[in-house]
């Protein structure tokens, strides 16, 4: 495993900057960077903007977003933030350097963990998504009080762990199962078509086509930051594109879009809604469903 010390220092800056902006704004910048990188690659640029910037030590979700998540958990533990699941607040506004330094520290951890996972799991799952989850789990165990799967309120205990309600929800406008499947189908087909079209025009650029849908979804969360109830679909679009590119079939992409949407919603009910820190449902869906797609591909089932 090769460690680039400049990248390691940059990952500290990326995690700190993610905390300063807030986890969601930092992730929106990831989406913008993905679209810029895809456009640059399609235009013939020799610089790997996607690998170095969008998924690198500055805007990589395992660094910037994960740093923001951990910093929010720490700030809530210090009673400087009302909720450890607050992804929207710019934590620089708290005026506490320790909060930002926690983000920087988790940025370094994210960089190192992803490097280790890449040694063993590249080609089997999305190691960035898995790193986001491992980082969030560590943040909850270090700074949270609810335990890994959260504590059920009396109301939640009456409803059941997997029945959201009240404040114990993720994205309430997309939690009903028919809505989940509909969004999964639509977003999945959109992203799958883009991936297949790019591969059709130039097979050497297929990797760029596979992340354009993800970039669109991540960038669309800008509207969520301002209170618009847009769907959260980046897990759907990323896995659907992977499934379509792997199988060469648009409908397979749509199917995996729906399955990934269901997994994301289930993950929210298992690890997020009853907890006091954020464990990201889309990242859980990305690493687990990428594992399914890639294993099926290795078994020549798709």
**Per-residue pLDDT tens digits for 14-46:** 999 999 999 999 999 999 999 999 999 999 999
pLDDT, tens digit, 9 for 90 and up, residues 233-262: 999 999 999 999 999 999 999 999 999 999
Q: What value does the mean pLDDT take over residues 63-67?
A: 98
Same domain assignment for residues 115 and 43: yes
pLDDT in tens, 71-95: 999 999 999 999 999 999 999 999 9
Q: Which long-range contacts (CB under 8 A, 24 or more apart) does 202-209 make?
A: 205/41, 205/42, 206/245, 208/37, 208/38, 208/41, 208/42, 208/50, 209/38, 209/241, 209/245
* 63: pLDDT strictly greater than 80: yes
SS3 147: coil
**190, 195, 165, 187: which is closest to 268 by C-alpha?**
165
Domain span including residue 36? 1-144
Clarify whether residues 179 and 127 are in a common domain.
no
Q: Do 14 and 131 belong to one domain?
A: yes
- Residues 198 and 246 occupy one common structural domain: yes
pLDDT in tens, 276-287: 999 999 999 999
pLDDT in tens, 100-145: 999 999 999 999 999 999 999 999 999 999 999 999 999 999 999 9
Per-residue confidence (pLDDT) for residue 1, from 0 to 100: 67
Average pLDDT value over all residues in the chain: 97
Express as a percent the part of the chain with pLDDT over 90: 96
- Among residues 144, 173, 196, which one ends one of the domains? 144
Tell me the C-alpha distance between 146 and 243, whole Å.
Answer: 36
Please state, in angstroms and rounded to a whole number, the distance separating the CA atoms of residues 130 and 97: 28
């Amino acid at each position: 495993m090769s460690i680039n010390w400049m990248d390691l220092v940059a990952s500290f800056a990326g995690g700190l900057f993610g905390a300063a902006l807030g986890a969601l704004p930092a992730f929106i910048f990831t989406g913008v960077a993905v679209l810029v990188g895809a456009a640059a690659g399609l235009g013939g640029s020799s610089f790997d903007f996607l690998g170095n910037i969008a998924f690198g030590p500055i805007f990589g979700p395992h660094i910037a977003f994960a740093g923001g998540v951990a910093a929010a958990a720490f700030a809530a533990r210090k009673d400087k933030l009302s909720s450890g699941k607050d992804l929207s607040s710019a934590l620089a506004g708290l005026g506490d350097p320790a909060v930002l330094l926690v983000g920087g520290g988790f940025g370094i951890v994210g960089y190192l963990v992803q490097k280790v996972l890449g040694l063993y799991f590249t080609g089997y799952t999305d190691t960035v998504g898995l790193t986001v989850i491992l980082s969030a789990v560590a943040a909850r165990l270090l700074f949270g009080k609810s335990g890994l799967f959260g504590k059920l309120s009396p109301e939640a205990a009456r409803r059941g762990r997997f029945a959201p309600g009240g404040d114990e929800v993720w994205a309430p406008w997309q939690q009903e199962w028919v809505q989940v499947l509909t969004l999964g189908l639509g977003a999945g087909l959109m992203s799958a078509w883009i991936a297949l079209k790019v591969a059709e025009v130039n097979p050497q650029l297929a990797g760029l086509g596979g992340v354009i849908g993800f970039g669109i979804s991540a960038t669309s969360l800008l509207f969520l930051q301002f209170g618009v109830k847009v769907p959260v679909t980046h897990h759907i679009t990323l896995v659907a594109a992977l499934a379509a590119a792997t199988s060469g079939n648009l409908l397979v992409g749509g199917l995996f879009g729906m399955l990934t949407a269901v997994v994301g919603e289930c993950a929210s009910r298992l690890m997020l809604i009853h907890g006091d820190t954020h464990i990201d449902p889309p990242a859980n869906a990305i690493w687990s469903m990428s594992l399914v797609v890639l294993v099926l591909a290795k078994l020549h089932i798709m």
